[in-house]
């Protein structure tokens, strides 16, 4: 069960402090992943989980700054509320309207969103170039927003947004298109969540991204939002669900001969980006991945 090697982790009185604020936070996989990166880098630092109720967020962030923390990740339910605590926002965080990384620098709080950039990096690592692709995104919540906006900025040709609540797909499409400024055509289009739309959109797409919880072990294990026969070999299938690692959708994609990508890579890449922001150095991504996969196996 030990997820951090206590020998490898060197914590002195001058240790750099980082962590994650969530509510609840006990299921977060960031502590084992970040502490593995800290250990691999030989940095005198520690990353700790902190359960913080929404009403306490401002007090806790001010307290951590006063205590000399380098920064923190914020996760559900704090990603939007933390915006009001930030003095300067990265372009990504501003575009998405949410932060997942705070960096305390002198008298300022800098806010970043590494989810979308982490998603793009995970595509790059898999050799997938988004420019010019037609993409289908399932879902229209926070993850879909971040992913769709970053895909649009990366130059995809079309984003089909399919969501159970159609109006939310329409709202997200409007947000995405409004960020494209002078782009001559509307990149994002909403579609209803039905068999006809799903089949039709997938037949024209080269990338499918599932951002819904369908297939998650805690939500609907063994289920998939699509049928195998709707998939084709030119389609890259990206499931943001990472627990279980081999979701039903990932297995269907493999059966259909698609390149199948797991959401665990997005988690690794967003974490690696947070590490770079806080410590100004390159983390050992392989060690982070190994620690994450180990922690995921232990949560089963």
Span interacting with ligand ATR, options 32-40, 93-101, 164-172, 272-280, rule CB under 6 A = 164-172
| Contacts with ligand ATR, 140-159, as mask; x by CB under 6 A | xxxxx---------------
User: Quick one: 19 or 139, whose CB is closer to ligand ATR?
Assistant: 139
Measured from the CB atom, the residue of 208 and 285 that comes closer to ligand ATR is 208
Strand partners, 47: 18
Choice from 212, 243, 247, 270 touching ligand ATR (CB under 6 A): 212
Q: Which of 14, 79, 108, 168 is catalytic?
A: 79
| CA 224/CA 233 separation, integer angstroms | 18
In whole angstroms, what is the distance from residue 298 CA to residue 247 CA? Answer: 17
Residue partners of 268: CB distance under 8 A and separation at least 6:
33, 118, 122, 285, 288, 289, 292
77 sits near ligand ATR (criterion: CB under 6 A): no
Is 168 designated active site?
Answer: no
Residue 211 near ligand ATR by CB under 6 A: yes
- The string of DSSP letters for 122-172 reads HHHHTT---TT-EEEEE--SHHHHHHHHHHHHTT-SEEEEEESSHHHHHHH
Near ligand ATR by CB under 6 A: residue from 59, 62, 165, 281: 165
Q: What is the DSSP-derived secondary structure letter of residue 85?
A: G
- Of 79 and 103, the one with the shorter C-beta distance to ligand ATR is 79
Instruction: Give the binding site for ligand ATR (CB under 6 A).
Output: 139-144, 163-165, 168, 211-214
Just list the catalytic residues: 79
């Amino acid at each position: 069960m030990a997820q951090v090697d206590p020998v490898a982790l060197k914590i002195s009185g001058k240790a750099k402090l980082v962590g994650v604020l969530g509510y609840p936070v006990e299921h977060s996989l960031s502590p084992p992943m970040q502490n593995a990166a800290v250990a691999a880098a030989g940095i005198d630092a520690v990353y700790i989980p902190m359960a913080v109720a929404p009403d306490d967020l401002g007090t806790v962030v001010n307290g951590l700054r006063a205590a000399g923390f380098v920064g923190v990740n914020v996760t559900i339910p704090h990603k939007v509320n933390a915006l009001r605590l930030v003095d300067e926002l990265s372009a990504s965080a501003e575009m998405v309207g949410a932060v997942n990384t705070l960096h305390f620098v002198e008298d300022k709080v800098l806010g970043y969103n590494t989810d979308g950039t982490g998603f793009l990096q995970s595509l790059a690592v898999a050799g997938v170039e988004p420019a010019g692709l037609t993409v289908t995104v399932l879902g229209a919540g926070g993850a879909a927003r971040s992913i769709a906006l970053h895909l649009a900025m990366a130059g995809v040709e079309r984003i089909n947004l399919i969501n159970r609540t159609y109006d939310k797909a329409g709202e997200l499409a409007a947000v995405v298109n409004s960020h494209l400024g002078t782009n001559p055509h509307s990149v994002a289009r909403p579609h209803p969540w039905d068999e006809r739309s799903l089949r039709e959109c997938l037949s024209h797409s080269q990338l499918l991204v599932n951002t819904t919880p369908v297939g998650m072990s805690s939500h609907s294990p063994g289920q998939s939002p699509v049928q195998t026969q709707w998939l084709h070999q030119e389609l890259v299938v990206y499931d943001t669900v990472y627990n279980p690692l081999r979701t039903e959708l990932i297995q269907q994609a493999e059966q259909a001969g698609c390149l199948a990508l797991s959401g665990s890579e997005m988690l690794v890449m967003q974490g690696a980006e947070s590490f770079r922001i806080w410590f100004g150095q390159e983390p050992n991504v392989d060690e982070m991945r190994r620690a994450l996969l180990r922690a995921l196996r232990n949560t089963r």
